[in-house]
Amino acid sequence: MSQTARSSRIGEPVRRKEDLRLVTGKGCFSDDVSLPRQVFAVMVRSTHAHARILDVDTRKALASPGVLAVLTGRDLLADGLKPFPHKPFTSHPADIAMVNSDGTPLFSAPQYPLALGKVRYVGEIVAMVVATTVAAAKDGAELVDIGYAELPAVTNTVAAARPDATRLWDEARSNVCLDADTGDRKGTEAGFARAAHVVRFETWVQRVTGVPMEPRAAVCEYDAVTQRYTLHAGSGGAVRLKQELAAILDVPAENVRVLMQDVGGNFGTRGFIYPEFALVAWAARRVGRPVKWTCTRQESFLSDYQGRDLAVEAELALDADGNFLAMRGSNIGNAGAHTANFSPLRKGVEIMSSIYRMPAANFRARTVLSNTMMTRPYRSAGRPEVMYVMERLIDLAARECGFDRIELRRRNLLSQAELPYTNPWGMIYDSGAYHEVMEKALKLGDWAGFAERRAEARSRGKCRGIGVANYVDTATGVPRERGEVTVHPDGRVDVVIGIVSNGQGHETSFAQLVTEWLGVPFENVRIIAGDTDIVKVGGGTHGGRGMRLASIVIWNSSRQIIEKGTRLAALLLNSEPSEIEFKDGRFLLNGTGRSIGLFEVAAAGTQLKDLPDDLRGPLAAFSDETVNVAGFPYGCHVCEVEIDPELGTVEIVRYSAVDDVGRAVNPMIVHGQIHGGIAQGVGQALLEQCFYDAATGQLLSGSFMDYAMPRADSLPFFKTEISEVPSPTHPLGMRPAGEGGTTPALGVVINAVVDALAGYGVKHVEMPATPERIWRAIREAQTPSPAAANR
Amino acid sequence: MYDFDYHRPASLDDVAAIISAHGDFKVLAGGMSLIPTLKLRLARYSGLVDLGGVESLKGITRDGNALVIGAMTPHATVATSPEVERAIPALADLARGIGDPLVRNRGTIGGSIANADPAADYPAGVLGLGATVWTNKRKIAADDFFVGLFETALRPDEIITAVSFPLAKAAGYAKLRQSASRFALVGVFVAKTARGVRVAVTGAGPSVFRFRDAEAALEKRFETSALDGIRVEADGLNSDIHASAEYRAHCVGVLTKRAVWAARSNPA
């Protein structure tokens, strides 16, 4: 598939370079890497949600054929391994600060790769068995005898926050490890005091998990001579994994090399180090052979970082005309068993008011520990939750106070003249055509024609509903990124960058940048991201930072290359740099018709002997940038559903989206991101849930038999449009595109479901809106006249 | 997966001989439930006897007023068979809705009913049509075959050879899928047979069962309105993270009507 440079430039829907490799099974994922003499690790996981470990007897396991080692928490401490280097918040100056309102420091407790003393969730690793085959390791694992003293468990978010709840950590005063007061209490009280209407909404945004198509896997070898660990493991980025691994192993960072090639899905799930990665490295040193571990799907459900899980109480105050006056409430995020990450709580609460004019707001924000797997940022961390809350509040306000829901949005949506706008938490929305994008989405979704479609559906016995949701997405994440671009004389261009593709198509979209700016053939651009011996700095793929930061560092590097190349070309063409123009990969000498190509110039730099020092050597440049402003993608989605009122089943029949990405490098990839994002949001709205048994803390949704994923036949063909209002805070006007599909999807789907059931008097359906929940909502709304529900 | 011996004999007699020689050997049909169970180490057998090599267990034949389906006939064959479509279209419809294409290509009718998963589709068709299960030892009426949760009347050394379905005057199947597994959360098979109306419910209880009150009502009048006010008790029905017993009981009512509607619009 050869494409000319012109058709591979920025803005072109170039087919993805990586797809032929990936769809023909030629990708190289973590489990595809095998090393000579490798042996295999199997993890022995806690079967209890909360228990003291009395004793771990490894003798029988050690005697089992093929078993080389059985390692426990005691061995880990003896070998000097350190706890995870948890940072509950990624430090980015654009996000709000979160501190305890009583001034005490945040509670944090060490987490080691193996449980010590206590297990705090089902699936926590207690021991590791290393053997010559996977089967032998499994046999050994079955023989590890662990004595437990069971303790009561708490998994529910609100229950865990109660003062009398079972405490996970004896050292803590309660399970609440962060209790912050955010926004402006006085101004909010004043707003509520003069409100004509107050609308209240209480909900739980249920816990879900990322379910990457490729389960995690890792293989590590240790070189006793150089004392170096080489870990092959897919992740969101190689550099962060290297640093985290070095911290746990307590070795200098240069003693660790991390490698990864293809990564089959991330969504935040793969953003951080896992205990198993440190354990295989440690085991490789202990047994003197490479150690490999591959996650089973069941382990993945138990032990992949999970997402969402936010309990919200919110109130919205409006004046008699429907102007928003203030909002207030409480958000409780469930962090799971360890103080690993509180980021989604902050990422949500700081933009609770979305892109609406909100004079004041005040939210209590808490993070609570519970006997569950840890949560981490999951596609659009924190924002889908709060956009859902805001958009539900608006629909409830319209219903309860008699406003038209579109007019209510139009009235309160920020106009372009009001931007940049500082929201009640101090977040500064940079720019955007919020009204225009909503109107476009309403048109794309044919809001005007809905009444006719509803009537037609009614004739078939179906309840049809329509919903709308606006959103804004704060993109921050790790602020620093480095990119290095090298023009090789043989016609290749290499880009070294710390942003690993987890399916986003960087090999294509990053190459398009280079093709645009250096005028080189698209096919000849190579992206190198997954080897820490080459990539020294980089924040990885998360938080809408991939293209946003890659474009900046590649742009800066490209400009330096053109500048240096221009001076070289001037020498070669016996002229002055001011007379040289760079165009389509060639340096042109003005008015002469004479020119020299980029690669010839690169060759001259390495071959000519009499060059000035700063021009000699490879034609290469790097850019190391720390970007302290946030990106603010936004958009509007419209969803239409049909409900079978007898069974309560929902079918999404139309879905339209307009998303502003500032500038789309590859519109086809952007559309694909939005499609996938919508599917992920629909999954949460209708299907998915990590279901922990309240009494025992057992995970009841531990396989695809019980964890419902959205499938192609759960979704209609989407209508997606890209809006391109350049962002003034990004040098190239770009806004992130990876999370916007998901951010409004929860709210828009539930708004449509509730609209479909409005005729029954249904005001809300919790997520996932399962058939039973819908059936019950209809029945309860119909009480005391249940007969009408069965019409 | 634990280690096991594997046999693939070509005749039913050889299968029987291997089974009687080794007490803890398990018969392997399509493997759609057995293989995952083994892979997860949830079961352990010292040997498997694969029926895939026994040609006599495959195929679909019309035998007078009955349709006989060999135990090792895959769902996809039943789903696309003109013979089934002519004789009992509702059965072809049921087979078309089992699992996904991979399961339909591998899974077999004999394997499905021997496993007697409480949420499987075939048990509803077998019980609803009043079929007879043929084994290498005897013939078992459907009413006697399904005993309980994953439990049948089969003896340890008994192998299903075929299922004989009497043709129905009308039949229909309606189900609601569980959203994760896509097994039947509730499935109802309704048939108007020479020996009366039969209604079989799968997914809702620990085992497929007959909905007698609905049968009696439909016997008088084979139309959906005959079912008004006829309910199944939630007591004793399945309750799990996907649905409560109460909702399942409600679905039995709705789906029975829909199965009747399907039967009436698609008479044999």
Contacts B2 to A, Cβ<8 Å: 135
Average of pLDDT values for B217-227? 97
pLDDT score at A609: 87
Contacts A705 to B, Cβ<8 Å: 180-181
CA distance linking residue A730 with residue A724, whole number of Å: 13
Burial of A262 (0-12, 13-18, 19+ CB in 10 A): buried
- Is the pLDDT confidence value at A717 over 80? yes
CA distance linking residue A578 with residue A203, whole number of Å: 64
Of the candidates B121, B161, B165, B126, the one whose C-alpha atom is nearest the C-alpha of residue B145 is B126
A–B interface: beta-carbon pairs under 8 A: 44
Residue partners of A787: CB distance under 8 A and separation at least 6: none
Give A754-780 as a 3 state SS string: HHHCHHHCCCCCCCCCCHHHHHHHHHH
| B251 in reach of chain A (CB within 8 A) | yes
- Is the pLDDT confidence value at A4 over 90? no
Contacts A691 to B, Cβ<8 Å: 241
Rounded to the nearest 5°, which phi and psi values hold at B170? -160, 150
- A428, HSE (Cβ side, Cα atoms, 13 Å): 10
% pLDDT > 70, chain A: 98
| Cis preceding linkage at A275, omega within 30 | no
What are the DSSP calls for A420-442, one per residue? SEE-TTS-EE----HHHHHHHHH
Average of pLDDT values for B157-174? 97
| B176 in reach of chain A (CB within 8 A) | yes
Q: Which of A687, A700, A776 sits opposite B241 (nearest CB)?
A: A700
Q: Which of B241, B251, B254 sits opposite A701 (nearest CB)?
A: B241
A327-353 pLDDT tens trace? 999 999 999 999 999 999 999 999 999
- Is the pLDDT confidence value at A788 over 70? no
CA distance linking residue A415 with residue A233, whole number of Å: 46
- Chain centroid to Cα B154, Å, comes to 14
- Is the pLDDT confidence value at A791 over 70? no
CA distance linking residue A333 with residue A328, whole number of Å: 16
Q: Are B225 and B148 in contact (CB under 8 A)?
A: no
| B247 in reach of chain A (CB within 8 A) | yes
Average of pLDDT values for A445-449? 98
Of the candidates A659, A681, A683, A680, the one whose C-alpha atom is nearest the C-alpha of residue A671 is A659
Q: Are A643 and A652 in contact (CB under 8 A)?
A: no
Q: How far is CA B150 from CA A123, B71, B113, in A?
A: 28, 18, 9
Q: Which of B176, B244, B250 sits opposite A649 (nearest CB)?
A: B176
| A586 in reach of chain B (CB within 8 A) | no
Of the candidates A371, A457, A350, A362, the one whose C-alpha atom is nearest the C-alpha of residue A756 is A457
Contact A647/B176, CB-based, under 8 Å? yes
CB atoms within 10 A of CB A625: 16
% pLDDT > 90, chain B: 96
Average of pLDDT values for A9-28? 95
Of the candidates A210, A51, A45, A71, the one whose C-alpha atom is nearest the C-alpha of residue A123 is A45
Q: Chain B closest CA to A318's CA: distance in Å? A: 39
Q: Chain B closest CA to A776's CA: distance in Å? A: 9
pLDDT score at A783: 76
CA distance linking residue B132 with residue B117, whole number of Å: 18
Question: Taking CA atoms, what residue in A is nearest to B244?
Answer: A772
B19-58 pLDDT tens trace? 999 988 999 999 999 999 999 999 999 999 999 999 999 9
% pLDDT > 70, chain B: 99
Lookup: tokens for B258: 């829909």
Kindly tell me the number of DSSP H helices and DSSP E strands found in chain B. 11, 14
- Taking only residues 273 to 312 of chain A, the set having a beta carbon closer than 8 angstroms to any beta carbon of chain B reads 298
Q: Chain B closest CA to A32's CA: distance in Å? A: 20
- This model of the complex carries an ipTM of 0.97
CB atoms within 10 A of CB A32: 15
| Residue count of chain B | 268
Lookup: tokens for A245: 């691994």
Q: What is the DSSP letter of A96?
A: P
pLDDT score at A786: 42
Mutate to test the interface with B, among A45, A692, A772 (most CBs of B within 10 A): A772
Q: At B12, which amino acid appears?
A: L
Grade residue B267 by pLDDT with cuts at 50, 70 and 90: low
Contact A135/B1, CB-based, under 8 Å? yes
| A705 in reach of chain B (CB within 8 A) | yes
Lookup: tokens for B57: 């267990």
| B4 in reach of chain A (CB within 8 A) | no
**Residue spans of beta strands (DSSP E) within A692-746:** 719-723
| B231 in reach of chain A (CB within 8 A) | no
Question: Taking CA atoms, what residue in B is nearest to A694?
Answer: B241
B75-123 pLDDT tens trace? 999 999 999 999 999 999 999 999 999 999 999 999 999 999 999 999 9
| A700 in reach of chain B (CB within 8 A) | yes
pLDDT score at B118: 97
Average of pLDDT values for A598-603? 97
Average of pLDDT values for A8-35? 96
Mutate to test the interface with B, among A693, A705, A707 (most CBs of B within 10 A): A705
CA distance linking residue B69 with residue A328, whole number of Å: 65
pLDDT score at A782: 87
Mean pLDDT in chain A? 96
Contact B242/A700, CB-based, under 8 Å? no
| Higher per-residue confidence, B265 vs A197 | A197
- Is the pLDDT confidence value at A303 over 80? yes
Residue partners of A541: CB distance under 8 A and separation at least 6: A236, A237, A266, A499, A500, A501, A502, A504
Residue partners of A232: CB distance under 8 A and separation at least 6: A30, A33, A35, A218, A219, A220, A258, A259, A260
- Is the pLDDT confidence value at A158 over 60? yes
B124-153 pLDDT tens trace? 999 999 999 999 999 999 999 999 999 999
Grade residue A1 by pLDDT with cuts at 50, 70 and 90: very low
Burial of A449 (0-12, 13-18, 19+ CB in 10 A): exposed
Q: What is the DSSP letter of B169?
A: S
CA distance linking residue B111 with residue A45, whole number of Å: 33
Average of pLDDT values for A678-684? 98
Contacts B251 to A, Cβ<8 Å: 647
| B244 in reach of chain A (CB within 8 A) | yes
Q: Chain A closest CA to B252's CA: distance in Å? A: 10
Find tokens 């439990």 and name the residue.
B151
- A296, HSE (Cβ side, Cα atoms, 13 Å): 18
Contact A705/B180, CB-based, under 8 Å? yes
Lookup: tokens for B36: 């995952």
pLDDT score at A784: 60
Q: Are B75 and B98 in contact (CB under 8 A)?
A: yes
Question: Taking CA atoms, what residue in A is nearest to B182?
Answer: A705
| B232 in reach of chain A (CB within 8 A) | no
Question: Taking CA atoms, what residue in A is nearest to B255?
Answer: A647
Q: How far is CA A765 from CA A394, A771, A778, in A?
A: 15, 10, 10
Grade residue A474 by pLDDT with cuts at 50, 70 and 90: very high
Does the predicted model carry a pTM greater than 0.90? yes
Rounded to the nearest 5°, which phi and psi values hold at A298? -65, -40
Partners of B166 in beta bridges: B66
Q: How far is CA A407 from CA A194, A351, A352, A402, A449, in A?
A: 22, 22, 20, 11, 17
A404-443 pLDDT tens trace? 999 999 999 999 999 999 999 999 999 999 999 999 999 9
CA distance linking residue A579 with residue A571, whole number of Å: 11
Of the candidates A390, A410, A388, the one whose C-alpha atom is nearest the C-alpha of residue A322 is A410
- Is the pLDDT confidence value at B72 over 70? yes
Angle, to 10 degrees, between the axis of helix A434-444 and the axis of helix A405-412? 160
Contacts A300 to B, Cβ<8 Å: none
Partners of A52 in beta bridges: A118, A149
pLDDT score at B201: 98
Of the candidates A615, A668, A537, the one whose C-alpha atom is nearest the C-alpha of residue A253 is A537
Q: How far is CA B55 from CA A457, B12, B92, B141, B164, in A?
A: 50, 9, 22, 24, 18
Grade residue A50 by pLDDT with cuts at 50, 70 and 90: very high
